[in-house]
Amino acid sequence: MRTMMRTAAAAMGAGALALMVSVAPTATAARTNNHVERHPAATTQAEQKRITQYWTPARMKSAIPRENRYLPLKGKPGGGTSSATAVQVPATPLFGKVFFTERGLNYVCSGTVTQSANNSLVTTAGHCVNEGPGAYVTNFAFVPKYENGNRPYGTFTARTLLTTEQWRTSGDFNHDIGFAVMNTLGGKTLVGAVGGSYPIAFNLGYNLTFDAYGYPQASPYDGQTLWRCSGPTTKDSRGSTDNRLPCTMTGGSSGGGWITGGKLNSLNSFGYRGEKDVMYGPYFGNVEQAVYQSAATS
């Protein structure tokens, strides 16, 4: 998954993988305050139709996850070394698969239908909406309850993409969160179509127990079904402010929601090279809350 972080060498200027290329920040990004970056997506019916037609079953099936991990910066893994094996679970309309194009290649992520005033919000990873740092993705689409190519609720396009200033300008994985405000489909909002959404929570602290969901696609998975990891988390001991969850999910699960107490409170973001079967998710603090509040009322 692009969910997997850059190498330490990349942070010092060397490319981690051929897929990773640094670019200058896009001039089209609009900043609404010190934390929020927004970008218009499919704002016309013609563009919405084009994106819906673009995502044929063949393109969806062939879209790829990012595979970028970075080397440990310092210290040893915290919270033990046991892994939480992901289990396949029935598809649900509150989770779905994200599709987008970046630098001419088609990619996949995961997303969560999120409670909001506009009833149209998907939460995903920042790196699923913006290169971090760099340009915003194109052809962004969300398919609720995706399973084996089936799209029971259709394909929703985004009218606005949002992320944190920290992610958009410097690729800061401490704030790797993104939101997509979806267009209506068939006259219905996203929540109106799927019949529900997850409330989102901020500043709940660390050492919580989560259920983490996603559509892992890198081997040994195929990206066609929904999977879940469950267990207690600890705070990352290697320098980030993220939550650490033993989990075997792979690329493609990026952006999939972490649920605790019935609320969305983190998401699949990255892993460290050399540390097997562990997922990290950003702490939802004040920065993330500011972006959410902007997205929820857009």
Look up the CATH number of the domain holding residue 241: 2.40.10.10
Q: How far is the C-alpha of 131 from the C-alpha of 10, rounded, in Å?
A: 14
Do the domain assignments include residue 2? no
Return the SS3 of 118.
Answer: coil
Q: What is the tally of structural domains in the chain? A: 1
Do the domain assignments include residue 33? yes
Q: Averaged over 37-43, what is the pLDDT?
A: 96
Do the domain assignments include residue 215? yes
Q: 73-128: per-residue pLDDT in tens?
A: 455 554 444 579 999 999 999 999 999 999 999 999 999 999 999 999 999 999 99
Listed range (69-78, 139-148, 231-240, 244-253) with the worst mean pLDDT: 69-78
Residue 229 identity (one-letter amino acid) = C
Do residues 288 and 177 make contact, with C-beta atoms less than 8 angstroms apart? yes
Give the burial string for 43-69 (b: 16+ CB within 10 Å, else e). Answer: eeeebbeebbebbeeeebeebbbbbbb
pLDDT reading at 241 higher than 60: yes
Do the domain assignments include residue 1? no
- Please report which confidence band the pLDDT of residue 28 belongs to, taking 50, 70 and 90 as the band edges: very low
Q: How far is the C-alpha of 211 from the C-alpha of 231, rounded, in Å?
A: 7
pLDDT reading at 143 higher than 50: yes
Q: How far is the C-alpha of 215 from the C-alpha of 251, rounded, in Å?
A: 8
% of the chain at pLDDT higher than 70 = 83
Q: Averaged over 270-283, what is the pLDDT?
A: 92
Structure confidence at residue 193 (pLDDT): 98
Structure confidence at residue 74 (pLDDT): 53
Do the domain assignments include residue 123? yes
Q: How far is the C-alpha of 224 from the C-alpha of 166, rounded, in Å?
A: 32
Structure confidence at residue 30 (pLDDT): 53
Reading the block at residue 210, the tokens are 């989560």
What secondary structure letter does DSSP report for 26? P
Q: Averaged over 218-242, what is the pLDDT?
A: 95
Do residues 200 and 295 make contact, with C-beta atoms less than 8 angstroms apart? no
Q: What angle do CA 278, 279, 280 make, to 5 degrees?
A: 125
Do the domain assignments include residue 201? yes
Do the domain assignments include residue 86? yes
- Please report which confidence band the pLDDT of residue 14 belongs to, taking 50, 70 and 90 as the band edges: very low
Range of the domain at 217: 8-296
122: number of Cβ within 10 Å: 31
Return the SS3 of 55.
Answer: coil
Q: 263-274: per-residue pLDDT in tens?
A: 999 999 999 888
